[in-house]
Amino acid sequence: MKQVEPQLTPLLVNAKSAAHLCGCGLSLWYELAAAGQTPQAVKLHSKKLYSYNLLKLWTDNGCPARDSVAWAELLKAKNNDR
């Protein structure tokens, strides 16, 4: 019997995957990111990557702007849960 490997959820995704996960095109994603409307990307060497968990938190809470009070409170609550 063939053993099935468990599927792993990536911890970080590139902009193309982030856009796909959030249901928009890459050009719109870049527009939103430039306007501060997406979670902050982390930079690893020369790549900008997005936390899957933050994308989930962001979409589950109505996609608040990065500099909004609502987003700051969500991040604070998330950090306090650790």
Domain boundaries, the chain: 12-80
Mean of pLDDT values over 11-27:
97
- Tokens in use for 81? 């849960």
Nearest to 38 by CA among 69, 75, 9, 71: 71
In angstroms, the CA 10 to CA 8 distance is 6
Task: State which amino acid sits at residue 77.
Answer: A
Between 15 and 78, residue with greater pLDDT:
15
Residue 33 has pLDDT above 80, yes or no: yes
Question: In the structure, what pLDDT confidence band is assigned to residue 73 with cuts at 50, 70 and 90?
Answer: very high
Mean pLDDT, to the nearest integer, of 26-41? 97
pLDDT digits (tens, 9 = 90+) for 47-56: 999 999 999 9
pLDDT above 80: residue 29? yes
Residue 81's identity, in one-letter code, is: D
